[in-house]
Structure 1
Amino acid sequence: MPIAGRVIGDGVKLVRLLGRGSHSVVYFAVSKEGQPCAVKIFPSHLETFAVREFQHGHGLNHPRLAPVLENLSFDDFPALLVKHAKGETLFERYRQRPALLHDRRAFLLTMTHLLDALDFMHQQGLVHRDIKPDNIMVEPDGSAKLVDYDLSGPSLEALDVPTRMGTQAFQSPEATRGEPLGPESDLYGVGVLLGWGIHGELPEEGESLPPTRDPLTPLWRALIRSDRSKRPNNAAWAKDELLRLALEHPTGLSASPQPSRRE
């Protein structure tokens, strides 16, 4: 049965498929007032993810986040109405790599907006727990929104059984061990993305990328420390440090990388 063209909820019309995730399919939609939005449809057996995403995403009213607006249903499937986030996923937007070499100003804006979003979430006592390119929607100028909160939850939430959260390439060491996650775990994902912006690639499993002359290297290295107790855990501090290093070295080159610290 075709899904595009269906009307659900209070006059929300599904228009076209936007993408498929591990827990849901996402459709671009239009409200009865003509406003663009998105609808996430979950399989029945993954209803708990829809419930959690509504619970944790409903109050995320911040310009760098796409909050959940309503609970819906599509036939017998749980669904959510979500504010539409314009743009492409981070990897799609930055096709010329390394991004910090080819499109430095825009990529710095993307990282700044990502840290703004995380700072707001962390102030609400929440962690995102799945920082990855597919969850960061980027516009042509680099403006960005952080989306998808089906793995989000309270900081240091203790689950009934140890659970690995997130996507492997961007997981913090503690996430791979199934430990409760805090803000420093989200910032590890930011560090992986920053390293990708510097190098244009992700490290192979079990390997690490080398330091570079990019002035953002100290921040990148600090954010990916394996010891969570020595890793920055404050997104606002990380944003300020990102901007400080970028402004001190506008050419994108520094003499040598220097150590950073946890704040």
Structure 2
Amino acid sequence: MPREPGKEDVLIGRLALSGGKITRDRLDECIHVFEASEAPDTLGEVFLQRGYLTVEELRTLKDLASRDLSGPQAISQSGTQTAPGGDGSAFAEAALFGRLALSQNLISPEQLFECLDEQLRMEKDGRSVQIGELMVGHGYLKLDDVARLLRLQKKSVLQCPNCEALFTMTEEAAAAAPACQHCGAPLSPVIRLVTAAAATTAATGQVQDALIGRIFSGCQILERVGRGGMGTVYKGRHLALNKLMAIKILAISINDPEMIERFVREARACARLEHPNIIQVHNVGRKFGHTFILMQYIDGHTLGQILDAGKKVSVGQAIKIVREVARGLGYAHRQGIVHRDVKPDNVFITSEGEVKVGDFGLALETKSWHKTDTIQGTPFYMPPEQWRGEPQDGRSDIYALGITFYALVTGQKPFEGESAMLLMEQHMHDRPRPPAAVNPDVPRGVSAVIMKMISKKPADRYQDCEHLLQDLERIAQGREPEAPPDVSDLRVCSFCQNQNRPDARKCAVCGEYLATTRTLLMEDEFPCPACGEIASRTRRSCDGCGQLFCKTCRLVAAVKGTDYCAEHQAPPPQFAHRRVRRP
């Protein structure tokens, strides 16, 4: 049976790791050597034999491990105690917190080492937990005890009012008005603890991310680049290929086994998608207690970041971006995959200007859809059927892409409800203003395409991305799209009330000329074909623009240089045929 390191060895190993004296891989290696052999007697001697620590470094670590924290005076003036050469990271902080609790007669030595050992095992499995949280969970400490120990260490607990994350930091760091490392919101002091869970924050105010340096599927995590509701995205390097990759770690709060299993299954389905406008998924799995996805790394920005920075996107650029996204989504739909979370934050623009759709974290296979009680998605971009929990297909992605298109050309979303319930009502029942009414620079053809994309009923939208791309191609060629114009742009016939296209001169039903006004025309009135103003048949010209009318019909503009329209032009003069006498 393998040996286990002693309690002092465990503490020394943790302090050496926290102080940067050894790496986690070397610590695991030394523990393995210690467990597999009968000599040497201590783990510290293994460190010496391997050359990972010097005699002086080991002596210093032993002195720190056995230091008697008899009271608050043992805490340094800065409010935090760091390991020699270390940075005051979570490992040393846990040991010092525990020994301070021991010195206050709040816990026994056995309880302290039990919690330290448990924390070490959990961190080895990739689960980050605070020593105070473990002690409260075992019933060794009360929340008031945790708060008092933090005050003795001159530390404060702060909370993010936005994402509710908790942080423990020195009073000096807390006084500097730090921001949440997850979402950037300013942190607020916690008056009374309701949980012992809190991320350890050093005196610099920077969160110590326990996943930095970990290896997932051959990729070592280098830094955190983004965080969302589903998880955190890290930048990593594939060690064998020496290539940058993106690793998405599913949020620990998502602990439903069925949901995790479905997430993994659908991520594997997305790995089949190979298209120049889709970020490639390379692998999916579970390690260190975390579910992860290994993806193509994009050097660039999201469309959301570009919009948040206040940069303008021209209508031409918006059409190009939407066309590229539609190509990628159309390919995914043909493979039976629906994205379900299309939005600016999931559209990436590379440094070379390429457009790619990413984050298929909510994607599903259309054949595997099943109704659930949980509504998933981003409220600003969700179609009505997604709010109702009904089946979704490619037309649902077209709706979300239409909302994105709307935001690109107008600078605002069509619905800006302050709550999810209000947004649901707006998406399901309210009719948004046409983009052309919000921004006059938006061509009416583009406005018509967007309004068709965000129709309430899926049957009224484009039925697939191919038809959407065809209409966008017509616009690029200067032609009218097949999308019906907005109702407010239609020309209503005053006689039969038929709605006609904006460029129509005559009613398609009754053949009457169309006026720009809704006023019923008198018998001798007609709309001027040049300016649309009401003209009278008793006059030869329009009072609005001066256009001359045909003398015969008094309805159509006369051909320039003549008194008649093309239909009523006077015939050429006729001369009688004269017989020529010959001499």
Instruction: Report the TM-score, using the length of structure 1 for normalisation.
Output: 0.85
Counterpart for residue 210 of structure 1: 434
Whole-angstrom CA distance in 2 between matches of 1:228 and 1:55 = 28
Among residues 210, 220, 223, which one is paired with 1:16 in the alignment? Answer: 223
SS at match of 1:148: coil
Distance 1:191 1:31, change over 3 A: same
Among residues 378, 384, 387, which one is paired with 1:173 in the alignment? Answer: 384
- The alpha carbon displacement at 1:197 in A equals 1.5
1:58 aligns with 2:271: yes
The CA deviation string for residues 38-91 of structure 1, in whole angstroms up to 9 with x for no partner, is 111122615336413422211111111112211243411121211123321112
What letter is aligned with 1:151?
A: L
- The alpha carbon displacement at 1:160 in A equals 4.2
Whole-angstrom CA distance in 2 between matches of 1:8 and 1:140 = 26
Whole-angstrom CA distance in 2 between matches of 1:38 and 1:219 = 35
1:38 aligns with 2:249: no
Matches within 5 A, 1:1-263: 2-10=210-218, 12-32=219-239, 33-42=241-250, 43=252, 45=255, 47-48=260-261, 50-94=263-307, 95-96=309-310, 99-100=313-314, 104-105=316-317, 107-140=318-351, 142-155=353-366, 157-203=368-414, 204-205=416-417, 206=426, 208-212=432-436, 213-214=442-443, 215-248=445-478
Asked if 1 retains the 8 angstrom alpha-carbon contact of 2:278 and 2:357, the reply is: yes
Q: Which has the higher contact order (CA 8 A, sep 6+)?
A: 1
- The alpha carbon displacement at 1:141 in A equals 5.8
Whole-angstrom CA distance in 2 between matches of 1:232 and 1:156 = 21
Q: Which runs of 5+ in 1 are unaligned?
A: 250-254
Q: Which runs of 5+ in 2 are unaligned?
A: 1-208, 418-425, 437-441, 480-484, 491-500, 502-583
Whole-angstrom CA distance in 1 between matches of 2:220 and 2:465 = 37
Higher CA-based Rg: 2
The CA deviation string for residues 130-158 of structure 1, in whole angstroms up to 9 with x for no partner, is 11111111135642111112211122654
Instruction: Report the TM-score, using the length of structure 2 for normalisation.
Output: 0.40
Asked if 2 retains the 8 angstrom alpha-carbon contact of 1:49 and 1:150, the reply is: no
Whole-angstrom CA distance in 1 between matches of 2:473 and 2:351 = 20
Q: How many residues align?
A: 250
Whole-angstrom CA distance in 1 between matches of 2:223 and 2:311 = 30
Asked if 2 retains the 8 angstrom alpha-carbon contact of 1:41 and 1:74, the reply is: no
Asked if 2 retains the 8 angstrom alpha-carbon contact of 1:65 and 1:147, the reply is: yes
Distance 1:88 1:39, change over 3 A: same
Asked if 1 retains the 8 angstrom alpha-carbon contact of 2:298 and 2:350, the reply is: no
Whole-angstrom CA distance in 1 between matches of 2:454 and 2:237 = 40
> What RMSD, in angstroms, separates the aligned Cα atoms of the two structures?
2.5
Distance 1:186 1:76, change over 3 A: same
Distance 1:71 1:30, change over 3 A: same
Whole-angstrom CA distance in 2 between matches of 1:98 and 1:120 = 29
SS at match of 1:248: coil
Counterpart for residue 252 of structure 1: none
- The alpha carbon displacement at 1:96 in A equals 4.0
Whole-angstrom CA distance in 2 between matches of 1:52 and 1:175 = 21
The CA deviation string for residues 91-117 of structure 1, in whole angstroms up to 9 with x for no partner, is 21244465235xx33x33221111011
Asked if 1 retains the 8 angstrom alpha-carbon contact of 2:362 and 2:377, the reply is: yes
- The alpha carbon displacement at 1:125 in A equals 1.2
What letter is aligned with 2:255?
A: H
Whole-angstrom CA distance in 1 between matches of 2:361 and 2:457 = 26
Q: Percent same amino acid at aligned positions?
A: 24
Of the structure 1 ranges 117-126 and 236-245, higher mean CA displacement relative to structure 2 is found in 236-245
Whole-angstrom CA distance in 1 between matches of 2:403 and 2:312 = 13
- The alpha carbon displacement at 1:22 in A equals 1.2
Whole-angstrom CA distance in 1 between matches of 2:311 and 2:477 = 21
More strand by share: 1
Asked if 2 retains the 8 angstrom alpha-carbon contact of 1:170 and 1:192, the reply is: yes
Asked if 1 retains the 8 angstrom alpha-carbon contact of 2:371 and 2:391, the reply is: no
Whole-angstrom CA distance in 2 between matches of 1:209 and 1:140 = 34
Distance 1:239 1:86, change over 3 A: farther
